[in-house]
Amino acid sequence: MRGNNSKRALQPGVTTHLTPLRSWRSGAVALALSAFAGGTLWAAPLPDSPDCEARLEAAVVAISTHPRVKGIPRDKLKAMAEFALGNTLFALMHEMAHGLIADLGLPVLGREEDAADAFATVMMLNMKTEFTHRVLVNAAKGWMISDRRGRESGENAIFYDAHGLDLQRAYNIICLMVGSDPDQFDDLANEANLPEDRRQTCQGDYSNASWSWNKALEPYMSAPELEPMKYPVVYGKPEGSLDIFKQAFQASDIMGYVAAFAGRFAWRKGFGIEVSMCGQPGATWNLPERKITFCYELADDFVQLYKLHGEDPLAKLSPPLTPTSRSGQPMGFR
């Protein structure tokens, strides 16, 4: 279960990074990746491609006759699919960051989990489309819902975990969005109750994250005149009703386009994606096999999160500012 900063191993010797965990530059890959988004948009209209909507629509059509979604109105089914696919995309990008760090020997100043979330966020912001912005909003919302679910079920927060707390991960995404364009995401900051003084420091956070990732990856970008490497995507057999996710993934080709994006980098030892049954929700960079393992159970968990509070506005999920907050205090070392 993707609860409060929980961490579980999928198999011995393999580290699991629970994500979304929830896009990139111009071109066909970017257009396809931007398709998997949902939620509320707090920004001025931005360009999008009809291809994005077509790919999302393909996923909805593919699952619309599945017994699991019988009786669900089409608009709700589409919103649920957008949420689950958007969080899946963020998870895949997060795990790709772990792969790049390990494969290319990239330096990480700070916690690697935070760097991986920043990678996913910055790359989607680079796309500058409505869809990818909504992917990020849904990723933040997913962590907020996960936090609420954990508290309501009595889970204990694990403060020493390699991952940040769910609410911290949510606000890190929001902070990078606001920092990238304070005017465009002003309404988002207001709805998420992000204090004014924190909004100002978010600009520095975004600048550091964006510059650092671009600088680290620049030497490993494949030459534009070369054909990108094609990396494999393998679908394991899902159990029971989880076959609905295999249908959605194949119809939208989200895995294929993430693999195609990975082809933009000069990986030393290769890259791949495997979707499989794991026995529990999770996603990981499998270091020995040089591939992302994405669990069908994690996609199902995203759907469960949506059913809990996915239709709630962000304002309802965001914790209010309280007298115990540090808003107004100097933002230096404490």
How far apart (Å, rounded) are the C-alpha atoms in residues 263 and 230? 6
Q: Does pLDDT of 123 surpass 60?
A: yes
Number of C-alpha atoms within 13 angstroms, CB side, residue 48?
Answer: 22
pLDDT score recorded for residue 22: 31
From CA 60, how far away is CA 79, in angstroms rounded?
Answer: 10
Q: Lowest-pLDDT range, 54-63, 203-212, 238-247, 313-322?
A: 313-322
Q: What is residue 212's predicted lDDT score, i.e. its pLDDT?
A: 96
Question: Are the beta carbons of 319 and 193 closer than 8 angstroms?
Answer: yes
Distance of CA 292 to the CA centre of its chain: 14
> How does pLDDT run across 72-90, given as a tens digit for each residue?
999 999 999 999 999 999 9
Inter-residue contact 61 to 55 (CB < 8 Å):
no
pLDDT of residue 21: 34
The pLDDT confidence band at residue 322, using thresholds 50, 70 and 90, is: low
Q: In this predicted model, what pLDDT tens digit does every residue of 18-74 receive, in sequence order?
A: 433 332 223 334 433 443 444 333 333 344 555 677 788 999 999 999 999 999 999
Q: How far is CA 249 from CA 77, 91, 119, in A?
A: 15, 14, 22
State the DSSP string of 46-105. Answer: ----HHHHHHHHHHHHHHTT-GGGTT--HHHHHHHHHHHHHHHHHHHHHHHHHHHHHHHT
Task: Work out whether strand 291-295 and strand 283-286 pair parallel, antiparallel, or are unpaired.
Answer: antiparallel
* Mean pLDDT computed over 4-10: 39
User: Is-contact 293 274, C-beta < 8 A?
Assistant: yes
Round to whole Å and give the CA distance between 112 and 94. Answer: 10
Helix (H) or strand (E) holding 201: helix 196-217
Q: What is the pLDDT of residue 120?
A: 97
Give the pLDDT mean for 315-328. Answer: 70
Predicted pLDDT at 15: 40
**Does 146 score more than 80 pLDDT?**
yes
**Residue 291, φ and ψ in degrees, nearest 5:** -155, 160
What is the pLDDT averaged over residues 320-332?
A: 57
Q: What is the pTM of this model?
A: 0.84
Dist CA 280 CA 10 (whole Å): 8
Per mean pLDDT, which range of 29-33, 46-50, 274-278, 315-319 is the poorest? 29-33
For residue range 192-220, what is the model confidence (pLDDT) as tens digits? 999 999 999 999 999 999 999 999 999 99
Q: What is the pLDDT of residue 67?
A: 96
Rounded to the nearest angstrom, the gap between the alpha carbon of residue 175 and the centroid of all alpha carbons in its chain is 15
At residue 50, the pLDDT reads 59
- pLDDT tens profile 148-164: 999 888 888 888 888 88
pLDDT of 114 above 90: yes
pLDDT level of residue 222 (50, 70, 90 thresholds): confident
Integer CA distances (angstroms), 291 to 20, 92, 255, 274, 288, in order: 17, 11, 12, 7, 8
Q: Which two tokens stand for residue 325?
A: 């907050």
The pLDDT score that the predictor gives to residue 210 is 96
The secondary structure of residue 265, as a DSSP letter, is B
